[in-house]
Structure 1
Amino acid sequence: MESPRTLLESVGSSLSAPWGGTSNIADLDGDVHWVDFGGPADATPIVLVHGLGGSHLNWVQVAPLLAQHTRVYALDLAGFGLTQANGRHTGIPANTALLNAFIDTVVGRPVILFGNSMGGMVSALATHARPDSVAGLVLVDPALPLPIRIPDPVVAAQFLVYSLPYLGEQALRLGRRAMTDQELSEQMTNLCFSDPTRADTEVLAAGAALSTIRRNFPGQDSEFLQAARSLLTTLARPREYRKALRNITVPTLLIHGERDRLVSVAAAHCAAASHPHWTTIILGDTGHTPQLEVPDEFNRHALAWLSHTDLIKN
């Protein structure tokens, strides 16, 4: 009989195999699922970090091309994807520490971090905490301190519910019960894409398959909400986060969708103005996950920047 860890690796590989991924489990104060997309070992490796409610699948459309240039890893943060929390915290500080432990233990050398949404915040804070472990930083529609403006009403209502004890848990549980796994996958796409018709059907199917697996994970709603509330707390009291961003000295690329409903492009413009040494690219007619919505354009910009900064050779 296969061990639970072996079974999890098998399940993970079945999800990422169409894009050349191989599933692995690391013991980082508990099991952490990660995917190896391969690639040459003579350049600085890339670690891909997903956002709130995401997983390694958020990167499958860009990882194969990146892996032609360097070794590429993607991990599932605690409470997401195939990494169950199992008693661990899933908030921003805990997952920042987990990311640094992953770099130290699994990769074992300085990396280039790509972080989307909450993963952008985690990647920035990990860089601030351990600048010796990060050679470059790519922030993809990262969670940023928001300028004063009217937020997207659907997003604002959703996060208001997340912030409320008991109501948040009930809303998530009832919403998950009311939808099929395919509908859950499509709902995330509708929220994150400017044009949902751009969604890749194979990625949607893999997301639905992951949702099916996660229905058997106990505590997934409370783990999600712990992360969401930690994210909101960091953004509501952003002084330490702003300080961490100011202190980052490694080469940094900010890529942001102009039509992002979750993190407004105004926040990206503010961040760019505050950090003129960053390279900033605003993608027109693009939402919150450009690596999924416009993967070819995303890779073109990312590879050009990586080559320009000599982090990898194009």
Structure 2
Amino acid sequence: MLTKSVLTTAKVPGNYWQWRDQPIYYLCAGKPNSANQPLLLIHGFGASTDHWRKNIAGLSKFFQVWAIDLLGFGRSGKPNWQYSGQLWQEQINDFITEVIGRSVVLAGNSLGGYTGLCVAAQYPTSAAGLILINSAGPFTESQTISQPPLWRKVISQSTKWLILQDLPSFLLFQWTRRRSTIRKTLQKVYLDQSAITDQLIEDIYRPSCDPGAAKVFASMFRTPSGQKVDLLLDQLNCPLLTLWGEADPWIKSQTRSAQFRKYYPQLTEYFLKAGHCPHDEVPEQVNTLIQEWVFSAVQRV
């Protein structure tokens, strides 16, 4: 069910789709093309469709481009539910089936990358291709490489227990959502500091003011880890492009790259001089790489 459209700061008309009685916000730009698969962009943790504005503007010249706010983020509903990769992959697959109506090339950053991988692996008819940009998600081998000392385990478990309590979780949320905290966090994960604009900070801050945002934040600490990336790659059968911001302090790009190539050697990959969000830091490069790869690797399949 679609509702009345709204206008975003990116000047692209947006709409709401009702999913499980919750409003899901999405954008669509560019004309449909029977020869080219549409792109579906999935944001990372704490972000939204706004984080793709530079990519939508460039890519919609060549493709029909869709972008969606995951449940709990952006302008989408924020119910007091248990959030998980399973929930988001069901949301994305249903959106592809019910709204777009044809298979897409999925592109996701961080958490959005992991969600896209889940969809492409477990709903193969929905994905014609997959683009992962500094994608999140654990590998099986990463869980067994080393075990922390007992004292560190105890501290970690105590900290987790504390955060799971309502008041500490709420206070942490209030601190995390401050504009000054958002700016400091971005300064750590963006190589190009000039890309950290007031608008970017406002785009991240604004959804934190929505009713239910604090409960969504608290739920993240209870989110199940989900399927391991290597197991998902074993199920994948579509073209894969991985883009790595090599200055990302959260994701060791060389290590992650080796893991992805081990389990999916036929992938295509590029390393970019950027941090955790290369699509926002170096959008022209990312847009060009996506365009060329889709035309060469996806359209010929």
TM-score, normalised to structure 1, is: 0.80
Aligned to 1:14: 8
C-alpha displacement at 1:242, in angstroms? 2.0
Aligned to 1:41: 33
Question: Percent identity between the aligned chains?
Answer: 23
Q: Any stretches of 5+ residues in structure 2 without a counterpart?
A: 148-155
C-alpha displacement at 1:35, in angstroms? 1.4
Q: 1:257 to 1:212 in 2, by over 3 A?
A: closer
* Conserved? CA contact 2:80–2:216, under 8 Å: no
Aligned to 2:65: 72
Aligned to 1:199: 195
2:260 equivalent among 228, 251, 271: 271
C-alpha deviations, 1:84-119, integer Å up to 9, x for none? Answer: 232443211101100101101110111000011111
Secondary structure at the aligned position of 1:230 is classed as: coil
**Which amino acid counterpart does residue 41 of structure 1 have in structure 2?**
N
RMSD: 2.9
How many residue pairs get aligned? The number is: 284
Q: Map residues 104-183 of structure 1 onto 2, 5 A cutoff.
A: 104-145=97-138, 147=142, 148=145, 164-167=160-163, 170=167, 173-175=170-172, 177-178=174-175, 182-183=179-180
Q: 1:228 to 1:49 in 2, by over 3 A?
A: farther
Q: 1:87 to 1:175 in 2, by over 3 A?
A: closer
* Conserved? CA contact 1:80–1:224, under 8 Å: no
C-alpha distance in 1 between matches for 2:167 and 2:157: 10
C-alpha distance in 2 between matches for 1:36 and 1:163: 42
Q: Any stretches of 5+ residues in structure 1 without a counterpart?
A: 151-159
TM-score, normalised to structure 2, is: 0.83
C-alpha deviations, 1:246-284, integer Å up to 9, x for none? Answer: 11010110111112122211122221232111111122x
**Which amino acid counterpart does residue 246 of structure 1 have in structure 2?**
D
C-alpha distance in 2 between matches for 1:268 and 1:221: 34
Aligned to 1:252: 240
